[in-house]
Amino acid sequence: MSVGAWEAFWLIVRRELRISFRRPAELLQPLMFFLIVTTLFPLGLNLQLALLRDMAPGVLWVAALLSSLLSLDALFKSDADDGTLEQLALCGQPLSVIVTAKTFAHWLVTGVALVLVAPLVAMALNIPGFAFATMMLSLGMGTLTLSWLGAIGAGLTVGLRRGNVLLSLIVLPLAIPLLIFGAAATDRAIAQIDATGALYFLAALCVLTCTLAPFAAGAALRITLE
Amino acid sequence: MWTWFYKLASPPHVYALAGTLAPWFLGLAALTIGYGVIDGLAFAPPDYQQGDAFRIIYVHAPAAWMSTFVYTIMAVAGAIALIWRIKMGHIVAAACAPIGTSFTVLALVTGSLWGKPMWGTYWAWDPRLTSELILLFLYFGTMSLRGGFEDAAQGDRAAALLAVVGVVNVPIIHYSVVWWNSLHQGATVAKLGKPAMDPSMLWPLLSNLLGFMLFFGAVLCIRLRGEILNRERQATWVRRVVSL
């Protein structure tokens, strides 16, 4: 039976989502990490609210990057361990489609969840409510871009026994522009300045990775599977 | 006619070629850098704004330029190796990485030494500085990825792919002073036809730039020989060469 690329995409997405929801503990871990890291900052800053407000966008974005990175390590790991990845690679669909499906599913369970939790954290960090929309939009695009960058890194390091440190070394430098524009957008929204420029930059990065990263990540997986 | 080109894919040939080229590169590099340093440090007139402190440009600008140039060579070599499966490409990329890292570190260190008298700080989170720092991390990433795999061939391919992905950073570094309102000064040399620099200041700089490239060529040749010997140590021609 031959399956079209689009159908294969949704089949894999559904499979990934089902697996994720069967392991709720793993699903919640990055979110818990995000909450805990952002809670540590106010305590470390001795509850100076003004300082906290200035630092909030940076804290939020760094925490989001780190928690997303935490879950990226597992993106291909379990499938590579039990041989599913090889079966998927042999199933006749282009690897880029398979990678796209897996990355999209990963973003749905980590990125979108993170965006939904963000207002709670933002309130704790003293970010005013009118900045929430810009913050959530920028985080949404940012986490999708990050999932893509991470897919390249995870594809390259999946064959390694201790790949997660290397994964951070590969992904974080590439994620720096993301951090700059993401934090700038949130910062500007808090200061009630027009944040469109930074949001456009984020959107450009997002489009760039969504279109080019599938091929890079597919090539990365092929190297590891060889 | 094309045989010389095909021969570049053969390690024994490149080993011999690099051996002959290295002393030439080294000698010419000594000449050009020697002229550039002496003329630049002793005879070029001081800058009307920056005084004598501007002279660090004779080390800083060529080093910064080389950091992206070497990265581009590394990425192109990696792409060639990935696409046509030529192992010489991986050897060149592996030899380039440490040299490029050194140039990047040199550019960052001289840049921050220059920043102290001019901007009043060693480091500013400025687009050009930050993107140069990202470049340094990318070099580290490719090197540790290459070493991270048990299967050396797999590590080579993974590092090559990362180098190709990281190429997006090169235009960002180059245009960062144009795109963003940066603390870093704009381009002074790369304006074709009419550089923003007086010839008496420009010649030593260009000479140093050429010298740095020749020096890179020399070090690349030496590293290539080491890299080839290490990788081909099972081959009979290596035994013959080494036992001489």
Taking chain A (226 residues) in consecutive chunks of 10 residues, what is each chunk's mean pLDDT?
Answer: 79 89 85 88 77 84 88 84 85 87 92 90 85 90 92 87 80 85 87 87 92 91 84
Q: What ranges do the domains of chain A cover?
A: 5-225
When pLDDT is averaged across residues B136-156 and rounded to a whole number, the result is 88
* A223–B161 C-beta distance less than 8 A: yes
Q: Does B113 touch chain A (CB under 8 A)?
A: no
Minimum distance, in Å, between the CA of residue A67 and any CA atom of chain B: 20
pLDDT for residue B28: 94
* A174–B145 C-beta distance less than 8 A: no
pLDDT for residue B192: 46
Q: Does B121 touch chain A (CB under 8 A)?
A: no
Which chain B residues in 7-46 lie under 8 Å from chain A, judged by CB atoms? none
Task: Quick: pLDDT tens for A182-203.
Answer: 888 888 888 888 888 889 989 9
Residue of B101 and B199 predicted with greater confidence: B101
Angle at B21 between CA B17 and CA B24, to 5 degrees: 165
Minimum distance, in Å, between the CA of residue A171 and any CA atom of chain B: 9
DSSP-derived letter for residue B41 is I
Which chain B residues in 122-151 lie under 8 Å from chain A, judged by CB atoms? 130, 134, 137-138, 140-141, 144-145, 148-149
Helix (H, G, I), strand (E, B) or coil at A116: helix
Residues from A in contact with B at Cβ < 8 Å: 152, 156-157, 159-160, 163, 166, 169-170, 172-174, 176-177, 180, 216, 219-220, 223-224, 226
- Reported ipTM: the value is 0.78
The alpha-helical segments, DSSP class H, found in chain A are 5-22, 24-44, 49-72, 77-81, 84-90, 95-106, 112-124, 132-157, 163-190, 196-225
**Distance from C-alpha of A116 to C-alpha of A128, rounded to nearest angstrom:** 16
For residue A101, which of A188, A184, A11, A183 has the smallest C-alpha distance?
A: A11
What is the length of chain A? 226
Residue A127 zone, left/alpha/beta (φ > 0; ψ -120 to 50; rest):
beta
- The answer to whether B60 touches B107, Cβ cutoff 8 Å, is yes
CB contacts < 8 Å between A and B, how many? 55
pLDDT, chain B, mean: 85
- The answer to whether B148 touches A166, Cβ cutoff 8 Å, is yes
* CA torsion angle A151 A156 A159 A164 (round to 10): -70
pLDDT, chain A, mean: 87
Q: Which residue of B has its CA nearest to A212?
A: B165
pLDDT for residue B128: 79
Q: Does B171 touch chain A (CB under 8 A)?
A: no
Amino acid code (one letter) for A30 = P
Residue of B45 and B190 predicted with greater confidence: B45
Q: Which residue of A has its CA nearest to B169?
A: A174
A194, burial (CB in 10 Å: exposed 0-12, middle 13-18, buried 19+): exposed
pLDDT for residue B191: 46
Q: Check pLDDT > 90 for residue B114.
A: no
Lowest average pLDDT, out of A147-151, A217-221, B17-21, B166-170, goes to: B166-170
Q: Check pLDDT > 90 for residue B139.
A: yes
Q: Check pLDDT > 80 for residue B196.
A: no
* B162–A173 C-beta distance less than 8 A: no
Q: Does B179 touch chain A (CB under 8 A)?
A: no
CB under 8 A, 24+ apart: contacts of B75-82: B75/B163, B75/B164, B75/B166, B75/B167, B77/B160, B78/B159, B78/B160, B78/B161, B78/B163, B78/B164, B79/B160, B79/B164, B81/B156, B81/B157, B81/B160, B82/A219, B82/B157, B82/B160, B82/B161, B82/B164
**Distance from C-alpha of B29 to C-alpha of A15, rounded to nearest angstrom:** 60
* A177–B137 C-beta distance less than 8 A: no
Q: In chain A, what residues touch B82 (CB-CB under 8 Å)?
A: 219
* B154–A159 C-beta distance less than 8 A: yes
Nearest to A216 among B140, B149, B161 (CB): B161
CATH topology of domain B24-41+50-234: Four Helix Bundle (Hemerythrin (Met), subunit A) (1.20.120)
Q: In chain B, pLDDT over 90 holds for what percent of residues?
A: 36
A47 phi/psi in degrees, rounded to 5: 55, 35
**Distance from C-alpha of B22 to C-alpha of B10, rounded to nearest angstrom:** 18
Q: How many CB atoms lie within 10 A of CB B142?
A: 31
pLDDT for residue B160: 92
pLDDT for residue B178: 65
When pLDDT is averaged across residues B156-170 and rounded to a whole number, the result is 88
Residue of A134 and B121 predicted with greater confidence: A134
Task: State the pLDDT confidence band at B218, using cuts at 50, 70 and 90.
Answer: very high
* B144–A169 C-beta distance less than 8 A: yes
Nearest to A173 among B137, B144, B154 (CB): B137
Q: In chain B, what residues touch A220 (CB-CB under 8 Å)?
A: 158, 161
What is the length of chain B? 244
Q: What ranges do the domains of chain B cover?
A: 24-41+50-234
Residue of A88 and B220 predicted with greater confidence: B220
Task: Tell me which residue has tokens 């689009």.
Answer: A6
Task: State the pLDDT confidence band at B186, using cuts at 50, 70 and 90.
Answer: low
When pLDDT is averaged across residues B104-131 and rounded to a whole number, the result is 84
- The answer to whether A108 touches A144, Cβ cutoff 8 Å, is no
B47 phi/psi in degrees, rounded to 5: -70, 145
CA B21 to chain centre: 18
CA A55 to chain centre: 21
* A163–B149 C-beta distance less than 8 A: no
DSSP-derived letter for residue A193 is -
